[in-house]
Amino acid sequence: MVRVLVVGSIHMDLVVVLKRFPEIGETVIGRDFKMTPGGKGANQAVAAARLGAETYMVGRLSRDFFGKVLRENLKRNGVRDEFVVEDPESYTGVALIFVDAKGRNMIAVAPGTDARVAPNDVDCALDTLGSVDAVLLQLEIPLETVTHAAKRAKEAGALVVLNPAPFKPLPEGIYRHVDVLTPNEVEARQLASRFGEYATLRESCEVLLEKGLSAVVVTLGPKGAHVFSRDFEGLVPAFRVPVVDTTGAGDAFSAALAVALSEGMSIEKAVVFANAVAAIKTTRLGAQEGLPYREEVDRFLSERGVKVG
């Protein structure tokens, strides 16, 4: 069993399902409402645990109602929570999410305790665990903590996977501590623009690879994912499924990619596996409730005659 450490956000998603998004100043009556656990970090942790990894979470929660519910949710999904700090100095983070009839989403986040996740929280986890196979990172917590976690993880010999979302400019030094970057197309171009003007996605990713990454895997929604790496370059097509809710699909993809690579899959097969996990997620409502278990992914791939192991 691979061991995964996720450093990131944990918050509650308040989801309103709408026929269409409101215009500025307009009120639109929703079709449904769900309160569901979220946060890019927690989404990735639950995804990894459901895929069979021994998963630990580093983050912060308050002592409020949402904090208690979210901690119990991590435990219920098999995520180890001993490195989730109880922080009474702020509120537990929340996300307000609109989902339209096409499964698209609009999201606003109030980070609360997510904004207080500190480098020392990472040190406590890594010093206690000793070693992990992979460390998963995102950008809903302070960039200082993300950078520190990448450096510590790389020094410990772990695979480091960074999903650079929501977008923030990254310090140049972080790239040599990250193995795999999983941006969408817009994020890839934004990150590369710091180093110059590039006409194509390939040029953008090549300049990022030159900074020290092993691979850039650009997620392209219904098209799939384009891999740029030393061992393989090409588009890995997405699986066609009826889309209900895309919230959390990127988190599912990154977590699945980290698990698959830690299990020894090639980058191409790992992306096929990650595409399957993300596809299943989009057929279900809820960033975490919709995440598949390993047996569901294996069955999904088997039914389509796809082998990754």
DSSP for 256-272? HHHHHHHTT--HHHHHH
The 10 Å CB-count burial string (b at 16+, else e) for 143-175 is eebbbbbbbbbbebebbbbbbbbeeeebeeebb
Q: Is 114 a catalytic residue?
A: no
How far is CA 131 from its chain centroid?
A: 21
Q: How many CB atoms lie within 10 A of CB 24?
A: 4
Residue 65: what residue type?
F
3-state class (DSSP) for residue 236 = strand
Q: 145 — alpha (psi -120 to 50), left (phi > 0) or beta?
A: alpha
Q: Tokens 């990448």 map to which residue?
A: 150
For the chain, give percent helix, strand, coil, nearest 5. Answer: 40, 25, 35
Q: Which of 64, 81, 251, 298 is catalytic?
A: 251
* Residues labelled catalytic: 251
